[in-house]
Structure 1
Amino acid sequence: MYLFKEKPIRNTIDVNQQALSLIEDGFRRLQAGEVTMPPVLSMPIADKNGELDAKTAYVKGMDQFALKISTGFFDNPDKGLPSLSGMMLLFHSDTGFPAAVLQDNGYLTDVRTGIAGAAAAKYLAKDEARIAGIVGTGTQARFQLRALKMVRPSIEKVYVYGRKKERIEAYQREMEHELGVTTEAADLETVVRNCDVLVTTTPSTEPFIKKEWLHPGLHITAMGSDAAEKNEIEPDVLGAVDILACDAASQVFSIGEHRTAKESGVIDESSTVEIGAIISGDAPGRETMEQVTFCDLTGTGVQDTAIAVYTYDQLKASGEGLEITEDE
C-alpha cells in the first residue's frame, strides 16, 4: 500500500485535458450502466456550519476503486483556512485490499469538481463564450474559472458576486494575474444578465438565481447544491431552460437543484438528461446560439474514482509516495 501526501499530489495533478478526458469517460460510463455507485452518505454538522460527505464508485474493468471522505466547513475562510478538506482511499478491485491513501486535504475534490464544470461547459456553453459570471469567491470559484478557461479560452471578462469585499478583491487579483482576464464585481442580477456562462459555487440554502434574469445563449452550471438542504437556483429556472442536464439522475432529485424544481412541479424525472449521454452522443448538447442550457452538478463517486486512479498512476510512475509494508 502507498501513502501519497498533499504536496506531491498538488505538484503533479491539476486541471488539464488528460484529467478532463478521464472525467468525461467516467460520466459516459455512468450513463451507460457500467458503474456501481451507491447514494452519497451526507452528515450535516449544523452548529459548526459544516458537513461530511462520503462517495464511492466501482467502474467495471478498472483495477482500483476509490472511497472519498470530504468535509466542508464554510466558516473556515474567516479563520484563514479553506472550506473543504478530506482524503481518498484507493482499493484493489480484484481483492478489496487497500492500494493507497491519498492525503490530498480535499485538493483532488477541488480538481475533479472544477473539471466536471469544464465538461458541462464544453458541451453546453456557446463555442465563443466571452463573458463568465461566477457566484462565490472561494476555492471552487477559482477552480471553476480555471477549468472553464481551459475549454472556452475565448473567456476574457468575468463578473463576480460575493458577500465580502476583501474576498471579492482577492479573487479578482488572483484570477486577473493567473488567467489574464478582466474582472468586475457586481450584484447578482448584473452578473447573470451580462454573462455567457454562469457558475454558482455557494453552499446557500436559499435560492438566489431568478428566471427573469435568463437570456438567450446563457449556460448555467450549478454546483453548490450537493445536499438536501442546499439550494442556489429558483425552481422555475429549471423549467424554463431548453436543455436541462445533470451529472447523475440518481442523485439530483434528492440532493441537487432538481429536487425543489420537481417538488414545485416545473419538471419531472423525464425532463433531464445526464451529461454522460451528451458526451457519448446519445443526447444532443447545445445546437443553437440562442438556447438556454443548465447543468446540475452534485458530485459523483465516479469522478472520485477517476481522479484517484489517475493520481495513483501518475505518482507511482514518478516514484513519489511511501510504500507501506505489513511489517510497518
Structure 2
Amino acid sequence: MKIITQEDIVKKLNINDLLFELKKSFIYYSEKKIICAPITQTHFSEKNADIHIKSGYLKDDKYYYVKIASGFPDNYLKNISPSQGVIIALNTSTGIPEVLIKDDGFITDTRTALSATLCAKFFASDKIESLGIMGNGIQAYLNAKYLKFIFPELKNLYIYGRNIEKLKNIQQKFVDLGCAVNLTDDPNVVLMNNKIIICTTSSKEPYLFPEHIIPGTVIIALGADDGIKQELSSSVIFQAKNVFVDSLDQCLKYGELSHAVKQKPEIQSKVLELGDIFAKNESYISKAGYTVIDLTGLAAQDIMMSRYILNEL
C-alpha cells in the first residue's frame, strides 16, 4: 500500500488549484456525480470529542475514498493537534485498499477553511479589507490565513472568543499575517464592524443573534456538524435574506439549519445548495439583507482533494 504523509501533501499544494477542485466538489455533489455514503458519527461526551467517517466516490473513478476524521479539543493540552485522521483509497474494481493518506487531519482542516474562502470569494464584494472571526482555534487561523492570501488588501481582523486571555495568547500569529487584530469577548462587536463573518467554534449554545448584523453581510458557519453544536440563533436563519448550504440533507440533520427547522419546518423551502449556485455562477447576494451559509462538510470535498493529491504525487 502506498502511504502519503502530510509532509508529502504540503509540498504540492496550490491554493488556487484547491479552490477550483472544491468548487467542483460542490457542483458534482449537487449534480449527483459524486455518490456519498451516510455519515457515521461517534460523540465522546465525557471528552467533548467526535469521530466522523465520511466516504464516497466520483462515478467511473478509480478509487472509493473513506475518511476517518476526529476532533479532540483537549489535545492541545498534550501538544497534539485537535484535528486528526486518515483517508484510505480503495480500488473500485477490486476493493483493495491501495493508498493510505496519513494527513493527520490536514486535509479536513484545509478543505474546511478553503470552502469558507471559496464562499467569501464568490459571494462577497471584490475587496475584503476587514474580516470577523468567531473562535480562536485552527479554523480561525486558517480562515484568516487563506483569506489574506486571496484578498491581500485584508488589513483588519476582529476575533471573538469567550476568554480574552486565550485570545491574547494566539494574537501574535494573526498579527504575523499582516493584519491589525482586534480581540473581543462580545460577538456583537464583530458583527457591527464586518460584512464577512466566519463562525468556527464548537459551541452548543447560540451566541450570534440578528440584531447587530449589517445589511449585506455574509455569515459562513462552520462549527455545527453533528446536530448538537449551534452557533447561530434560529432567528438568524429565519431573518436571513438567503440561506445556502453545502448539502440540504446534511444541514437538516447536522447543521445550523437542523435547529431552525425544528421550529419552522417551512424554512427549508428557501434554502439553496451551493453546488446549484456555483453551477449557474450566480451569487444571489442582496445588499438589503444578509446571507447565511451553513457548511457541515462533504465527503465530496475530501474526494476531490484526495484525487488532486494523488494526481500531484
TM-score (norm 2): 0.94
In the TM superposition, residue 7 of structure 1 has moved relative to its aligned partner by 2.2
Equivalent in the alignment of 1:299: 297
Q: Is residue 93 from structure 1 mapped to residue 92 from structure 2 by the alignment?
A: yes
Q: Quick one: which of 309, 312, 321 aligns to 2:310?
A: 312
In structure 2, C-alpha distance between the alignment counterparts of 1:143 and 1:61, rounded to whole Å: 33
Question: Is 1:81 matched up with 2:80?
Answer: yes
**What are structure 2's unaligned runs of at least 5 residues?**
none
Note the 1:262-273 alignment, pairs <5 A: 262-265=261-264, 267-273=266-272
Query: Residues 288 and 235 from structure 1, CA distance in 2 versus in 1: closer, same or farther, beyond 3 angstroms?
Result: closer
Question: How well do the aligned residues superpose, as a CA RMSD in angstroms?
Answer: 1.8
Give the direction of change, closer, same or farther, for the CA distance of 1:45–1:147 in structure 2 (3 Å limit). Answer: same
- 8 A contact 1:76–1:82 mirrored in 2: yes
Q: Which residue in the other structure is 2:11 paired with?
A: 11
Give the SS at the match of 1:173. helix
Assess if the C-alpha contact under 8 Å between 1:9 and 1:311 holds in 2. yes
More displaced 10-residue stretch of structure 1: 142-151 or 41-50? 142-151
Q: Which residue of 2 aligns with 1:195?
A: 194
Q: Which amino acid aligns with 1:63?
A: K
Q: Contact between 2:241 and 2:286, CA under 8 Å: does it hold in 1?
A: no
CA distance in 2, matches of 1:149, 1:65: 34
Q: Deviations over 1:10-57 (max 9, x none)?
A: 33336x000110010010111112121122111001111111000012
Q: Distance in 2 between matches of 1:116 and 1:270?
A: 24
Conservation of the 8 A alpha-carbon contact between 1:39 and 1:251: no
- Percent identical pairs in the alignment equals 27
Q: Secondary structure at the match of 1:230?
A: coil
Question: Matched residue of 1:302: which SS?
Answer: helix
Provide the C-alpha distance between the structure 1 equivalents of 2:109 and 2:300, rounded to a whole number of angstroms: 15
Map Cα deviations across residues 275-326 of structure 1 (whole Å, 9 max, x no partner).
11111117x31444444111100001001111111112222xxxxxxxxxxx
May I ask how many residue pairs the two structures share in their alignment? 312
TM-aligned CA deviation for residue 164 of structure 1 = 3.3
SS at match of 1:212: helix
Q: Report the alpha carbon displacement of residue 192 of structure 1 after superposing the two structures with TM.
A: 1.3
Tell me by how many angstroms 1:267 deviates.
4.9
Q: Which has the higher contact order (CA 8 A, sep 6+)?
A: 1
**TM-score, normalised on structure 1?**
0.90
| DSSP-derived class of the 1:303 partner | helix
Q: Which whole-Å CA distance do the structure 1 matches of 2:11 and 2:116 have between them? A: 22
Structure 1 unaligned spans of 5+: 316-328
SS of the residue aligned with 2:269? Answer: coil
